[in-house]
Amino acid sequence: MNAVMASIAEEGLEKTTMRNVAQRAGVSTGTLAYYFRDKEDLVDAALLDASEQYMQRFRSEQRPSGPAALEQLVDKFLAQDNTDAAFVLQMIEVGLHNSQLRGTHQEMIQAGRDMIEKSIQVGVELGKYRDDIESRLAAALIHGVLIWWGSELIWNATSEELAVEASRLALRLIEANPGFSLSPLKNKPKSTVESVRALLLADARLDHEAATTLADAVEKLYGVLAGKTTDLPT
């Protein structure tokens, strides 16, 4: 089983053969053929064995829970040198097409979602995350984002920087006070007034004239409150 996994990791699934697995394991191809009908049977057995070992280790490990743990999960899971994450992603993908591994596929998905949900629940209790969300659905959302971007990384379809940035945005969306607007600001505001003006002008619900009028009024009112002027907005 170790020889199969080593061959897949170093040479890829397509180039993994009964012959090179036998050579790695120090046995004859006849011995392999006695226990396994063909390459597919051999690979399935190895993947099943490896996934069971992984899940045993996963269940035995103690992990912190909470917002900080979720932030760390994003960075760690999407790190391109994380072999555990790569294995999980490969197993989830294989399980979609292999009925023998479907149970392991579901177990890995559920374990990941449960771990994330626990952190979300802690975050809600701490007031860090919104209390109007259903933690189970929020966990499925975050998990789905990580699996998607992790898969993109495996296939070199995106950059680690973009994957992490998008996944962190998903976490911001469940925060009680995210501290940012979803409307991107081209230039970082230099003052409170400029911040309000930029947000009003970026609001799609307001036409430009209305947004400008509101922004001017806020600026005048702010000036009055700050003692810079006595000219109240009409």
The CATH number of residue 22's host domain is: 1.10.10.60
Same domain as 136, residue 70 = yes
Mean pLDDT of 202-231: 80
Same domain as 192, residue 106 = no
Residues in the chain: 234
pLDDT tens by residue, 122-160: 999 999 999 999 999 999 999 999 999 998 888 888 999
Does 77 score more than 80 pLDDT? Answer: yes
Question: What pLDDT, on a 0 to 100 scale, did the predictor assign at position 31?
Answer: 92
Same domain as 89, residue 158 = yes
Same domain as 126, residue 203 = no
Question: Per the domain annotation, does 54 fall within a domain?
Answer: no
pLDDT tens by residue, 146-155: 999 998 888 8
Same domain as 107, residue 40 = no
Same domain as 214, residue 231 = yes
Same domain as 163, residue 115 = yes
The phi-psi region of residue 7 (left if phi > 0; otherwise alpha if psi is between -120 and 50; otherwise beta) is alpha
Question: What pLDDT, on a 0 to 100 scale, did the predictor assign at position 185?
Answer: 46
Question: How open is the CA angle 25-27-28, to the nearest 5 degrees?
Answer: 135
What is the rounded distance in angstroms from the CA atom of residue 199 to the CA atom of residue 188? 11
Contact 94, 46 (CB under 8 A): no
pLDDT tens by residue, 176-194: 887 655 555 455 545 677 8
Q: Pick from 154, 172, 190: which residue ends a domain?
A: 172
- Domain containing residue 81: 62-172
Question: Per the domain annotation, does 158 fall within a domain?
Answer: yes
Same domain as 162, residue 186 = no
pLDDT tens by residue, 4-53: 888 877 777 778 899 999 999 999 999 999 999 998 888 888 888 888 88
Mean pLDDT of 216-220: 84
